[in-house]
Amino acid sequence: MVVKVIKNFFNKTFGGFFGKKKEIVLGFYGPPNAGKTSLANKICKDWTGEEIGTVSKVPHETRNVQIREKVEIEYNGKRLTLKLIDTPGIATKIDYEEFLKFGMGKKDSQKRAKEATQGVVESIKWLDDVNLVIVVLDATLNPYSQVNITIIGNLIARKIPVMIVGNKTDLKKADLRRIQSAFPEYDTVGISAKSGKGMKDFYELLFKTAKKV
Amino acid sequence: MRKRKIRIARNNVTLSFVPYSEIANLTSIDKIKKILDMALDNRIIIIQGRLTPNEEASLIQSTMVLVGKIKDFKGVEIAVISGTGEESGFFKRFKEGLAKALVGDQSALTVIGPASIVKEIKRDPKKIELLLNK
């Protein structure tokens, strides 16, 4: 009886420290159209069979933060329980006329632009609530954008572990080395969320980065 | 250092140089307000120094709030040129001297322009190019 009482006391008091690891709140950050939702979908499909959100060629498809809890992933006998936070792309400007080029009507474009601005505000707010971040960049584009630098600067200031994913490596213009030379202090992996190319390396790096949480 | 204003009359583009001394003692909110007031006045701003990461994030948030509220305001283009001209150098120094970065790095230059005037700021590690809207 005494042993049981002591055991319960220790479990209640120190369970959080020595017990099962807490769920990691994993944020997907990056500029619009880099493939954050495609990657989050790939992970969700791999481990839960369901997707987290819709994807589109039109920028700012994700305009609300999308959450999927208790995603358990396993790699080489190790397990992680993740809460996935798929955030709207961060931008410094949003022009509804850009959406017209994709065949959208003026009213819909204006509505999309308004929702996208609110999405950016929401994404930045979530920086306070994530404890691991995947910065998703389009490997076909120049990585030296202020949005990318601001996101990574904020993660450094908040001491949040970060890994960088260069997406769209299935495309000819993709250049992962450009991303690696822009951010040499960070682990970078090249993937194609669309085709699944590079996902083995991705999971390996995810487990490595998760150790820092 | 005095604040300088360069006006290129033909295209009606105004470049405003803001020395570090003019923003050093401002609160983050006041810095952002000052920058956005100038951007809304259709000026391209060149600031001696850089904002902290938190201020940069707040600037983006405030910009987005204004895009949703002020007609024809589409946001801003931002670029920071570090003293070394190399981003990797910037991040290395950033990690090593967070305290310095948090109080402002005077060797950097921050360029901010309203999106209605500045189409794009192209950058690579060693240079930046401002592409203006026609």
Average pLDDT over residues B3-19: 69
pLDDT (average), residues A1-11: 56
Tens-digit pLDDT profile for residues A34-56? 999 999 999 999 999 999 999 99
The ranges assigned to domains in chain A are: 20-210
pLDDT in tens, B68-95: 799 889 999 999 887 654 444 455 555 5
Structural domain containing residue B77: 4-132
Count: domains in chain B = 1
- Interface size between A and B, measured as CB pairs under 8 A: 98
- Residues B49 and A182: their CA atoms lie apart, in Å, by 21
Q: Kindly report, residue by residue over A70-108, the tens digit of the pLDDT.
A: 999 998 899 999 999 999 999 999 999 999 999 999 999
Task: Tell me the pLDDT tens digit for each residue of A161-213.
Answer: 999 999 999 999 999 999 999 999 999 999 999 999 999 999 999 999 999 99
Angstrom distance (rounded) from CA A123 to CA A63: 9
Low-confidence winner among A54-58, A89-93, B52-56, B99-103 (lowest mean pLDDT): B99-103
Tell me: pLDDT of B38 over 70. Answer: yes
Contact A67, A85 (CB under 8 A): yes
pLDDT, position B128: 78
Cβ contact (<8 Å) for A154 and B57?
yes
Q: Do B91 and A152 touch (CB under 8 A)?
A: yes
Strand order from edge to edge, sheet including A162-167: A66-75, A78-86, A24-29, A132-138, A162-167, A188-190
Probe site for chain B from A150, A155, A181 (most B CB atoms < 10 A): A150
Q: Give the gap in angstroms from C-alpha B74 to the nearest C-alpha of chain A.
A: 5
ipTM of predicted assembly, 2 dp: 0.87
| Whether A113 contacts chain B with CB within 8 A | yes
3-state secondary structure of A142: coil
What's the gap in Å between the CA of B53 and the closest CA on chain A?
5
Asked if pLDDT for residue B8 goes beyond 80, the answer is: no
Domain A20-210 is classified in which CATH homologous superfamily?
A: P-loop containing nucleotide triphosphate hydrolases (3.40.50.300)
Contact across the interface for A144 and B123, Cβ inside 8 Å: yes
What whole-number distance in Å separates Cα of residue B55 and Cα of residue A19?
38
Gap between the Cα atoms of A34 and A174, Å rounded: 12
